[in-house]
Chains A and B, each alone.
Chain A
Amino acid sequence: MFTIAIIGGGIIGTAIAYSLIPYDAEVILFDKENDIAMGSTRANSGIVHAGYDPMPGTLMARLNREGNAMMEKRCRDLSVAFERCGSLVLAFSEEEVEILKTLLERGKANGVEDLRILDADELRETEPQASPDAVAALYAPSAGIVNPWMLCIAQAEVFVGNGGKVLTDCEVTAIKKMPDGYTIHTSKGIYEAQLVIAAAGAFSDDVHAMVSKPDFEITPWRGEYYLLDKSEGERAKHTIFQCPSRSGKGVLVSPTIHGNLIVGPSSELIHDPADTSTTQDKLDFIREKASLSVPSIRWSMNVRNFSGVRANSTIDDFIIREVPGSAGFFEAAGIRSPGLASSPAIGEYVVKMILQADFSLPRKTDGYFLKRDKVYFHELNAEERESLIASNPLYGRVICRCEEITEGEIIDALHSPIPPVSLDGIKRRTGAGMGRCQGGFCGPRIVAMLAEMLDQSPLTMIQDRNGSYLFVPKVNEKTEDGAQEREVRI
Chain B
Amino acid sequence: MKDVDVVIIGGGPAGLSAATECARQGIERIVIIERDKILGGILNQCIHNGFGLAIYKEELTGTEYAYRAYQEMAAFSNIEIMLDTMVMEINPDRTLYCMNSKDGYIRIQAKAIILAMGCRERSRGAVAIPGTRPAGVYTAGAAQHYMNIDGYQVGKRVLIVGSGDIGLIMARRLVLEDVKVIGCVEIKSTPSGLPRNIEQCLNDYHIPLMLSTTVTAIHGDKRVSGVTISRVDENYRPIPGTEDEWACDTVLLSVGLIPENELSRRAGISMDLQSGGPLVSPSFETSIEGIFACGNVLHVHDLADNVTKEAVKTGKAAADYVKGLVPTSCNNVTSAAFIKPNVPYNPDSTKESDTYRYLTCIACPRGCTLKVTKNEPHVVEGNACPRGEKYAIEEMTAPKRTITSTMRVRFSDGTWKRISVKTKEEIPKSKIMDMMRLIHHTKVTGPVHIGDEVARNVIATSEAIQ
Contact = CB atoms under 8 A, between A and B. Distances in A.
A486 interface: yes
Contacts of A386: 104-105
Contact of A385 (B99, B129, B136, B408): B99
B433 A488 contact: yes
Main secondary structure of the interface of B (DSSP, over half): mixed
Interface string A435-450: 0111111011001100
Contact of B149 (A226, A389, A444): A444
A476 B150 contact: no
B133 interface: yes
A278 B443 CA distance: 48
Interface residues on A, range: 35 or more
A404 interface: yes
Contact of B146 (A231, A471, A473): A471
Interface string B121-145: 1011110111111111011011001
Nearest to B145: A444
Highest count of chain B CB atoms <10 Å: which of A302, A462, A472, A474: A472
A451 B95 CA distance: 38
A397 B101 contact: yes
A35 to B, nearest CB: 14
Contact of A486 (B97, B238, B440): B440
Contacts of A55: none
B153 A473 contact: yes
Contact of A439 (B88, B97, B126, B142): B142
Interface in A453-471: 458-459, 462-471
B437 interface: yes
A305 interface: yes
A394 interface: yes
A389 B146 contact: no
Contact of A477 (B133, B142, B145, B440): B440
A314 interface: no
Contacts of A304: 123-125
Contacts of A407: 101
Contact of A302 (B107, B126, B178): B126
B156 interface: yes
Interface of B: 35, 84, 86, 88, 97, 99-105, 107, 120-121, 123-126, 128-136, 138-139, 141-142, 145-146, 149-156, 177-178, 216-217, 221-223, 238, 249, 262, 265, 408, 430, 432-434, 436-437, 440-441, 443
Interface of A: 226-227, 231, 276-280, 283, 299-300, 302-306, 382, 385-386, 389-390, 393-398, 401-402, 404, 407, 436-441, 443-444, 447-448, 458-459, 462-478, 483, 486-490
Given A473-B153, A487-B178, 10 more contacts: A302-B125, A305-B130, A386-B105, A397-B100, A398-B88, A440-B123, A444-B146, A458-B150, A467-B221, A478-B440
Nearest first, the 7 A-B pairs at minimum CB distance are A463-B135, A393-B101, A467-B222, A396-B101, A468-B135, A386-B105, A398-B86
9 contacts: A280-B238, A303-B126, A386-B104, A389-B99, A390-B104, A396-B104, A397-B86, A478-B441, A490-B430
